[in-house]
């Protein structure tokens, strides 16, 4: 997010995960304050927009680069093109991208975030668990 951009202007969100290349162990980087998307939570009243397409307001690669700059991440991240999700929020359709961290080692979580696995999402709001479940289906293939 650049200095001129307010949180209300942020027209995208990113889910960030790490899939171990050998064991397929899947972990998600989430904010400690709640929610599962970065760099900030979804607006209130957000729902999954199954059949609606978001207008291109920001290229996914630009969004990923903005996230890396905002969170000071020097990790090798790749967008996962197979994952496509839009959220309907008051006044707009918001694309949610998935970025995956490659490699064997899981780096320490940046300040304000933590790594979790899918079973640790039990007790989270339904929408958060559903977003993580959809990632699991795309990357692991069970569903």
DSSP single-letter state for residue 85: E
> Is the model's pTM score more than 0.95?
no
| Contact assessment for residue 46 and residue 37, using Cβ atoms and an 8 Å cutoff | no
Domain positions in the chain are 7-140
pLDDT range class, residue 143, cuts 50, 70, 90 = low
Cα–Cα distance for residue pair 115/117, rounded to 1 Å: 7
Residue holding tokens 């397409």? 53
| Contact assessment for residue 80 and residue 98, using Cβ atoms and an 8 Å cutoff | yes
Q: pLDDT (tens digit, 9 = 90+) per residue, 4-51?
A: 444 445 789 999 999 888 887 899 999 999 999 999 999 889 999 987
**129-142 mean pLDDT:** 89
Q: What is the CATH number of domain 7-140?
A: 3.90.79
């Amino acid at each position: 997010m650049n200095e001129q951009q307010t949180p209300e202007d942020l027209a995208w969100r990113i889910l960030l995960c790490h899939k171990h290349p050998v064991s397929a162990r899947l972990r998600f980087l989430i904010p400690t304050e709640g929610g599962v998307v970065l760099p900030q939570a979804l607006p209130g009243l957000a729902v999954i927009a199954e059949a609606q397409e978001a207008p291109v307001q920001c290229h996914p690669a630009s969004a990923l680069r903005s996230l890396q700059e905002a969170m000071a991440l020097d990790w090798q991240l790749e967008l996962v093109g197979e994952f496509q999700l839009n959220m309907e929020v008051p006044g707009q359709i918001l694309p949610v991208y998935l970025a995956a961290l490659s490699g064997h080692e899981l780096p320490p979580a940046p300040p304000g975030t933590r790594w979790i696995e899918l079973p640790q999402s039990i007790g989270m709001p339904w929408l958060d668990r559903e977003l993580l479940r959809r990632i699991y289906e795309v990357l692991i293939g069970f569903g």
